[in-house]
Every structure is written in structure tokens, then in C-alpha cells.
Amino acid sequence: MADFDFVLSDGERIPVIIQVRRGIRNITLRPKVRPNRQIHMSRPWTVSNATALKFLESKRKWVENIYAKCPHKCQLRPGDEIVVFDLRVVLMHNPAQRANRLVQNDNGTYTLVVGGGADMFERRVRDFVKAEFLRRIKDIIRTTPREFWPVRIAIRDTTTRWGSCSTSGTMSFSWRLAFAPYDVMRYVVMHELAHVKHMDHSPAFWAKVRELYGFGVERAKRWLAQNGAELHQWF
């Protein structure tokens, strides 16, 4: 049970749970966005709750930024429409159907028919999007020379990074990019592929990104900076 509330600038009240822990010297602060939006704090037994809350207030800008980047989740239901992979997709449910099925409509939109029980509806939509995202990421990578191809591709659900490239050859991508325009998703892929040659963000690195991506890198970067938070509204 929450001990206090932290009120964001938009009026949302975030429950604050404070635990007293022996053996620690400093206050620790952990904002959480899932499965529930809560702030967990630990304090030494010699520190009061009032002092801990003052510490939390001193970190307001940081905390506000975290929750601004992770808006409230919107529950998906049959009949809802989402935009994914630049496609307008209406979600439908057919409990008698086993596999998910994406159908193109005459008007250019699509319908995703989801099977299984109603309690698994959102999960099956999410699993479909993640699987399709991985397939499309691989297709984008195959358009580049093999020397840039990763050893392994990992799909993540991160809130602060859209992609990463390790020295071991593993590239990770946030599947939330499935809700971004295709050109933005492609930009993130080319960004990580460029790290194969330059593990930094030097002028040489950005030149390689532009070489792989082509015209429009700055536009894609700007879109992601301005709209990235919206990619977390589902699930």
C-alpha cells in the first residue's frame, strides 16, 4: 500500500512506497511505469519520511520526464483502430480462430482478426506486432551490405533507448518502433548498423548513418524526439 502520493504537474497522483532498510546509507529512488505507475523509495532507518520526500521533490524534473515519456496505457478492445507499420489496422476478435490473420480491405485499410479467448486479446495483438516487427527489421537489414549485418537481433521493450549495438555483434531494437512511421523505424536500424563501423557518435558515424539511410536523417530524428512518448501508449 502506498504511503504517500507524488503529484505530477498534470495532476496525476503517483503512489509513493517508502521502505526502511538497514545497511544502506543513502536514499534510493526508483520510478516504475509497469505493471503499475509507482515510485519506490528506500531510506536508511536514521532518515525520516519527510527527508525522503524532500529528496524526491528535488528530483522532480527527472521523475516528471520519466512519466512524460511513458504515458498511461490505453487498453485495446475489438473494434479499435491502430496505426502500425504505417498501416491503419482495425482489431477484431474471433474466438473460434486459432491463428491471427491480417486481411487487407478494399478501402486500403487492414483488419487484424485475433483468435483465442477474450482474456488473451491484447496479448495476442502484442505478440503479432512483435513478430511482424522482427520480420520487418530483418528485411530492412537485408537491404544493406552483409558487412553491417548483426550476429544476433534482440527485441526489447525499453523506455529510454530505441536501439543498441554491442561489441559482440548483437543489435537490440524496441518493438515500440512498430507504431512509428516506417522511415523512422528504418532510421533507427541504420543508426545501429552504423555502429558496426563507429562505436561512437562522431562525425564519421553520422556520415555513415546518412550513407546507409539516404536523405531525411534529421527529419526522422526530429520525429522520434517529438513523438517517441506516443509509441508507448499501448500494452
Query: pLDDT by residue (tens digit) across 72-124?
Result: 778 899 999 999 999 999 999 999 998 899 999 999 999 999 999 999 999 99
- Concatenate the DSSP letters of all residues of 125-152 into one string: HHHHHHHHHHHHHHHHHTTS-GGG--SE
Whether residue 125 has pLDDT greater than 90:
yes
∠ CA(219), CA(222), CA(224), 5° rounding? 110
Those residues with Cβ within 8 angstroms of residue 171's Cβ, 6 or more apart along the chain or in another chain: 150, 152, 153, 154, 163, 164, 165, 192, 193
Question: pLDDT tens, 134-154?
Answer: 999 999 999 999 999 999 999
CB of 234 closer than 8 Å to CB of 73:
yes
DSSP conformational letter for 230:
G
Which pLDDT value is given to residue 76? Answer: 94
The mean pLDDT value for 199-226 works out to 96
Sheet holding 28-32, edge to edge: 4-7, 13-20, 38-43, 28-32
pLDDT above 90 coverage of the chain, percent = 80
Question: pLDDT tens, 150-183?
Answer: 999 999 998 778 999 999 999 999 999 999 999 9
Which pLDDT value is given to residue 210? Answer: 97
Q: Hey, what domains does the chain have and what are their CATH numbers?
A: 4-69 (no CATH), 81-232 (3.30.2010.10)
The mean pLDDT value for 8-22 works out to 92
Q: Which three cell numbers stand for residue 33?
A: 511505469
Which pLDDT value is given to residue 229? Answer: 81
Q: Tell me, what amino acid is at 155? A: I
The mean pLDDT value for 202-229 works out to 95
The mean pLDDT value for 2-12 works out to 89
What is the residue whose three cell numbers read 536523405? 215
Q: Tell me, what amino acid is at 50? A: A
pLDDT above 70 coverage of the chain, percent = 99
Whether residue 230 has pLDDT greater than 90:
no
- Distance, in Å, from the CA atom of 91 to the CA atom of 234, rounded to the nearest integer, reads 13
Whether residue 1 has pLDDT greater than 70:
no
Q: How confident is the model at residue 53 (pLDDT cuts 50, 70, 90)?
A: very high
Nearest CA to 235 out of 129, 91, 100 is that of: 129
pTM of the model: 0.76
List, in sequence order, every beta strand (DSSP E) within the chain. Answer: 4-7, 13-20, 28-32, 38-43, 81-84, 87-93, 101-104, 110-114, 152-156, 163-165, 170-174
- Distance, in Å, from the CA atom of 149 to the CA atom of 74, rounded to the nearest integer, reads 35
